[in-house]
Structure 1
Amino acid sequence: MAGSIIPGILGMNPFSSNIQSQQGTLSNSSTPINIGSNIIPFAGKRTIASVTKDWELPNPTNTPAITINGKTLAEAFAALNRLPQWGQGGGTLKTDPIPLGDTTDLDVKLYANLVLRLPTWTGYQAASKAAQNEWDNMLAKLRIHEQRHVDIAIEEANALASELIGKDINKIPSLVTNANATMLKRQRALDKDTDHGAKPGVPYGDVILDASIT
């Protein structure tokens, strides 16, 4: 039995993206909004000379944990399908506010807010070897899928960091907003192309769990 994988992407907020139910699946319904810096008014032109990144090395948040209960693989499978999503990966770009002043050649702190979350099955140790292997195979494929969501977030974060250099600070809100919109479009495209990870034989797919294994 193939599991129905939910997107697991982060639109605007790592833990509270707007999600609505549609025909038994969930989709992120957030529309891109301006989540860039709150810039305090200033006099004169102030440009960005450097960007401090919070994702080097990548620092995805792995909590809160996704805990799956159940003694059998079938029970674990049912528990997975009661969740809004099997796993979660991605990020949200945001900068610190720029304070009032006349300093030029500013450093901007850019955050990717990376998140990578995978399920843990509490019945794993007591399960049969065959059931453990099936869970391990599913989890490995799910990790690849969710890591790709994280990688997309990092790619867009790096692109934004480069684009910010030399720009006036007035450009920060629109550039951050556009970068998040591009990221969200790419995240949704990944899930569409892979059927949210469940499509067989495609990169970042094959996330299935055979619940009949005992």
Structure 2
Amino acid sequence: MYKVKHSGTSVKYYNVKGDTLADIWASIEAKGPKAHGKNVAGLTTCPVTVNPASTKFDQKFTPGKKGGYDAEMWHKSITLEYKCTIKMPKLASDKNLSKAAKAEWKRFIAQLNVHEQGHVDVTGKEAKVMGTEIDAMKFKGTGKDKQTAFKDAIKSYKRDFGAKYSQANVDARLEAAHKKFHNSKGHGPALNKTIQ
């Protein structure tokens, strides 16, 4: 049975400055984290990994049709963990901004935070989907005796589970899930730079 463990979310800030919202946006474009080749205002990273210590298996053996044994193994327990880091801009000082500009900056930061938290939620949901899939997986092997059949089932596990849930494949699935989120929700709020 799978478990999904969220090990926490930390926020890291990068400093931006400016006396107008246009200046601040230029600072974000110069200093913001890179995503797909360009600097963005906010960025969330949430890698999902399998905790090896949590992985336990169950198995059963049945007599083979042509003698020997058939083995079947599956995950008795497995934990998918994710820890997130959100990068956000931090304004050095708003003392030279107008009241309207200060309000717009507050609105922008609040909505940016909501958007980035949405990426944290997307990661948790995708990890649960993967966990459900893993629970349904069975790894089979055959052999002249139980030990040989079990070794064959382990080969099946290494081949099938390793191929589907390699770190590269998990990362690609997460990337696709975040892209879908962007397609439905947009790439985050826009700062209204025209407010003086």
- Secondary structure at the residue paired with 1:123? coil
Query: Structure 2 residue aligned with 1:176, among 160, 165, 171?
Result: 165
Q: How far, CA to CA, are the matches of 1:137 and 1:103 in structure 2? A: 50
Cα distance, 1:211 vs structure 2: 2.1
Identity of aligned residues (%): 21
Query: Which residue of 2 is the match for residue 53 of structure 1?
Result: 4
- Secondary structure at the residue paired with 2:41? coil
CA contact (8 A) 1:70 1:76 kept: yes
Q: How far, CA to CA, are the matches of 1:109 and 1:156 in structure 2? A: 14
**Which string of whole-angstrom CA distances, capped at 9 and with x for unpartnered residues, describes residues 163-185 of structure 1?**
22364553443343454433211
More helix by share: 2
Query: Which residue of 2 is the match for residue 19 of structure 1?
Result: none
Query: Which residue of 1 is the match for residue 25 of structure 2?
Result: 77
Are 1:68 and 2:40 counterparts? no
**Which string of whole-angstrom CA distances, capped at 9 and with x for unpartnered residues, describes residues 178-197 of structure 1?**
54433211212333455523
Query: Which residue of 1 is the match for residue 103 of structure 2?
Result: 133
**Which string of whole-angstrom CA distances, capped at 9 and with x for unpartnered residues, describes residues 31-55 of structure 1?**
xxxxxxxxxxxxxxxxxxx434321
Query: Structure 2 residue aligned with 1:95, among 50, 64, 67?
Result: 50
Query: Structure 1 residue aligned with 2:129, among 159, 178, 186?
Result: 159
Equivalent residues, number: 152
CA contact (8 A) 1:94 1:176 kept: no
In structure 2, do the counterparts of structure 1 residues 103 and 141 end up closer, same or farther at CA, with 3 Å as the change threshold?
closer
In structure 2, do the counterparts of structure 1 residues 158 and 195 end up closer, same or farther at CA, with 3 Å as the change threshold?
closer
TM (norm. structure 2) is 0.62
Cα distance, 1:153 vs structure 2: 0.8
CA contact (8 A) 1:92 1:180 kept: yes
CA contact (8 A) 1:115 1:150 kept: no
TM (norm. structure 1) is 0.58
Paired AA for residue 69 in structure 1:
K
- The gaps in structure 2 that reach 5 residues or longer are 33-38, 59-74, 140-156
CA contact (8 A) 1:66 1:118 kept: yes
Q: How far, CA to CA, are the matches of 2:164 and 2:84 in structure 1? A: 19
In structure 2, do the counterparts of structure 1 residues 139 and 103 end up closer, same or farther at CA, with 3 Å as the change threshold?
closer
The CA RMSD over aligned residues, in Å, is: 3.1
In structure 2, do the counterparts of structure 1 residues 81 and 194 end up closer, same or farther at CA, with 3 Å as the change threshold?
farther
**Which string of whole-angstrom CA distances, capped at 9 and with x for unpartnered residues, describes residues 1-48 of structure 1?**
xxxxxxxxxxxxxxxxxxxxxxxxxxxxxxxxxxxxxxxxxxxxxxxx
